[in-house]
Structures are given as C-alpha cells and as structure tokens.
Chains A and B, each alone.
Chain A
Amino acid sequence: MVIINRKSFFFSIIFLLLILFPWIIEDSFYLEQLTRILILGIFAMSLDFLVGYTGIVSLGHAAFYGVGAYTLAYSFQSTDATNFWYALPLSLTASALIATIIGWLSIRTSGIYLLMITLAFGQMFYFFYLESSYFNGSDGIFLLNKPEILFGSYNLFDLENEVNLYFFVLGWFIIVFLLLKTILKTPFGQVIQGICVNESRVRALGYPTPRYKLISFVIAGTLAGLAGFLEATHTGFVTPSYSHWHQSGILLVILMLGGVRTLYGPVLGAATIVLLEDLLPEITDHWKLLLGILIILIVLFLPNGTTDLFSRILFRGPIQKANKDHE
C-alpha cells in the first residue's frame, strides 16, 4: 500500500501546474515572469544549500552568477551562434573553477570575516567586468541569439520560442531541485548538515570539514553559474550588475523571505520578490523604501521567514525536519 504524504502530494500538484502553465494562462507576460521566478529560484536554492544546509553565509554568490553569464557571452564571441552542448559545460566548468578558488580562500575563515571576504571577491568580479574593455564595460554584452541545442545540425529545441524556453528552464529547475534533495539525503549531505549545526563536533568525529565545506561551496557556486547561464539566455543581455553585491544581497533577502533550509522556501521568496518588484512601483516611485521597511519588519518579527507561516498553514505544523536552532 502506498501512502502519499501531504507534502509530496502538494509538490506534485505544483509541478503539474507548472507544466500546464503555458496552456492555463496564455499570456506571454506572465510566462516571462514565471521563467524569471524559476531562474531566480535555482539561484536561490543554490545559496540555500550553502547558507541553510552548510552554514556558510556568503555575500558573494553573485560572482558565480556573473561567471556563468559572461562565459556564455564569451562562447558567442566568434559567431552569432553558440552550441549549447559546448556553452553550458563551459559555463559550469568556469563557475566551478572560480568557486573552488574563492571557496578555498574563504572557508579558511568563518563568520563575519567570511562574509566580508566573499563580498569583496564578488565585487572584484563586478569591477573586473566593469573596467575590462574585453567585456564591453558597463554597457554589457547583447546576445543576439539563444544557444542552439544541436543534434547533428538540427536544432532540437528552439529556445527562441518562449514556451520552449520556459520548459527548458523548468526542466533545469526540477533537475536542480531533485539533485539538491538527493544530495542532502546522502552521506555527504548528512555531513554538511552536521557541519551547519556543529562543525567542531563533526570534525572530531573524523570528518575533514574544510574539504566538505569547500565541495559544498563549489556545488552551490556551479549551480549559481547555471542560473547565470539561464538568465543570460533568457534576457539575452549580460552586464556587470549580474555580479554586483546587491544581487547577492537581494538573494539573501529572498532566502529570508521564503525561509532558509527548506529549498522550496527560497523559490517562494523569489516569487515574492518578483511580484513585489512588479507591484510596488505601481504604488510609489520610491518602492525600495517600502521594500526596505518590509524586510526590517520581517527580520524583527518573523525571524524564521514567511515559510514558517506558509508551512504552518499548508502542512499543519512546523517544518518536519527539526533543523532549527531554537525551539
């Protein structure tokens, strides 16, 4: 007898709705927004893996987002077209490589110090793109076409079509979600979750924790690179602002809004931010003021994020996994 629990039932419904979305709402504006939310969701999940599950609060995650995007732009350089099978591995490899270097330098420290170092590295990339003439400085780079998913000489899945692009992004979204879920259940995932709560204990049990943290950092960085690759494909535009630290900052806000250490929470957070960025400007030009006040109120009064509210309503109780520091 198979018992489907409430949570997986709920997730199945959501995935079904996401798949059917282009036929439910035939409005390209909303499809566009949803694509954005999914990409931002991947980006946010990657950071949640690092912040929520490994306990490394990084303020430089946008560095990898930028590397993923700029590497795609680079793979376009010679022609107007680029082959997906070449461009994506290149983007992921570049992000992983940069994440290894930054991670190696950063995780030797912790706490505030680590925050500052990651922030500084993020800004280093921002300034590098901004000042380098090779990457066209602050004007950024236009990508005239989308990467071609070639099979022989045949374009399997034309990304110029926005519905196709949506499914392409949705596919990656599901892959990343399931990948992270799986990793968390494996021995490796158990170790990093232990590190998140009590690193010295895990180390005294015989785990070389710096190595685990570095690998977690690289996984998160590579997936952020994937998000950058998708965002660049989606918007067709790469600028230094991909790596600006405000990008990292808003990503932490997204995590907070949705609730750290849930994976799906940050996705809800991403949706909230995209919606707020649509709605608030209609109320006032100075919507960032409202956003700022909102964040402060949430930090002060809803320290576990809004997912706490959602999950209480949806799953009738606090998040099952009692991975919380205070009761």
Chain B
Amino acid sequence: MNDIILRTEHLTKHFGALMAVQDVSLTLKKNLAHAIIGPNGAGKTTLLNLLSGELYPDQGTIRYKDQEITKLSPDQISRLGIGRSYQKTNIISSFTCFENCRLAAQSRLITFMDFFRPVKRLKALSQHAEKALELVNLSHQAATVAQTMSYGEQRQLELAMILATEPELLLLDEPLAGMGSQESGQIIELLQTLAKKHTLILVEHDMDAVFSIAQQLTVMVNGEILETGNVEQIRHSTAVQEAYLGHYEPQPHH
C-alpha cells in the first residue's frame, strides 16, 4: 500500500460544454514510468494541469503520498516534490541556461527570501545548477542565453530545471516534441535512467519512446480513461487498437 505515490479519484473538469477530463481515477506506483497516451484533445494536458495545480477540478480528488493536494497552488505542489514540464517550452527566456537552473535549485535550497547576499556567492546553488545541466548534456551551453538556443536544447534545459528542483514525481508533457533524433535519443536514455529512482508521468506521441520508457500505460479518449495496463496489455487491447493505435499503425488487412 505504501508504494502508491499518487491517486486520483473521479477527476472531472469541464470547459463550458466541453468535457476535458471525465471521471478519471488513476493509481500510480512509486518509481514507475507511467505514460498517458491518446489522440489530440483527449484531455491529457488538462489532466497534467489538474495534477500540477494549474487548474482545479470541478469534481474529484487528488492525493499525493498521504496528503490531499486537490486545491493546492502550483508552487505548493512543486514544493511537495512534483516537477512539471510543459508542452510549449516554458523557460525564463532571457536568463542563461545556468541562471535558469540556479533559479530552479534556489527554490529548494533557500527557503527564506534573501535580500542581501548576492546569489553568486551561494556555492551550493551553483553546484546544483551545474549538476542539473550536466545530466541533460547542456554544460557546454551554461553561459548561453536560453532564447538563442535551438528548440531541442530549450526542451533539454526545461528538463534540467525540473531536475534541479529534485522532484520525486515528474509530470512531463511531450518532452520529445520538436527534438532531433540524436537529441531525443539522449533524452530517452535520460528518462530511462530517471525512471529508476523517480516516478514519471509521461504524455508523449512518439510511441517508440513511450514503449521504451514506460512500464505502465493509460489510454485516454475524449477525456475518459479507455484502458490502463502494462505495455503488452495495451499493445494487444483491441479497444485501444480501434480507438487510438489504429491511427498510427494502419493495418491494411483490417
């Protein structure tokens, strides 16, 4: 029982008449990579927004470890150890890579508002930031202003920022989108490593990546969970084939 890290019950969110997320109940085990797949508009990003506090559900509850977090704000949720990356790259565009990661690390290492000590003198912060950049292979770009980097590198940076906050649970919204094949290869490797010590919730369209990272999959269609299971179960589920996978792997004899 103790290895359950996140549990949602009957999560529901409408936007006007649109049911973005409907009655979603999920149970997530610790240190497991869990992918959420489904066609565009299935409500995957909305679900992540509910989990990270960007949106509040109309109904239902979210529990993280032993605490209810349904109505907590994004900063409170982040502080509990839930890191979030976004579908659209979300970094401080005018900061350098290093400054981005330092800001992220600072949120964990300095718990009070410090008005007088120059941030440069805080060695621990720099070390954390450098370590995070190293993890995503961006050390050579530390002094580069984020907005001048390639899109793929910006995505890597965003991942580094989240890692600098040392989360236990990572919510990743299409981390591979827009990356070249070499970059995404590196990131997949990184995610595989991370998955050993972290819990991942991964929203991703690249099925090869999903199957190589995730142990458990949830298929969402029209805001509802169609099926949850391990990789093999999902691969062979006919309901999933019809509703979703069929779009990606059309099989001529059908």
Contact = CB atoms under 8 A, between A and B. Distances in A.
A207 B77 CA distance: 10
A202 interface: yes
Contact of A204 (B75, B93, B95, B125): B75
Nearest to B171: A204
A327 to B, nearest CB: 7
A198 B107 CA distance: 15
Given A201-B90, A204-B84, A205-B103, A186 B161 contact: no
Given A201-B90, A204-B78, A327-B148, A183 B115 contact: yes
A197 B116 contact: no
A192 to B, nearest CB: 10
B16 interface: no
B165 A325 contact: no
Interface SS of chain A? helix
Interface residues of A, number: 31
A72 B93 CA distance: 43
B239 interface: no
Interface in B123-174: 125, 145, 147-148, 161, 165
A194 B95 CA distance: 8
B106 A204 contact: no
A324 interface: yes
B113 interface: yes
Given A190-B103, A198-B90, A322 B118 contact: no
Interface string A292-327: 000000000000000000000000000001111101
Interface in A194-213: 194, 197-198, 200-209, 212
A5 B84 CA distance: 40
Given A185-B120, A187-B114, A190-B103, A205 B165 contact: yes
Contacts of B79: 206
Nearest to A182: B116
Contacts of A323: 94
Contacts of A194: 92, 95, 103
Given A198-B91, A201-B92, A190 B102 contact: yes
A289 B94 CA distance: 37
Contacts of A189: 119
9 contacts: A182-B116, A187-B114, A188-B114, A190-B102, A191-B106, A207-B107, A321-B94, A323-B94, A327-B148
Given A185-B120, A203-B73, A325-B93, 4 more contacts: A182-B116, A182-B118, A193-B92, A197-B95
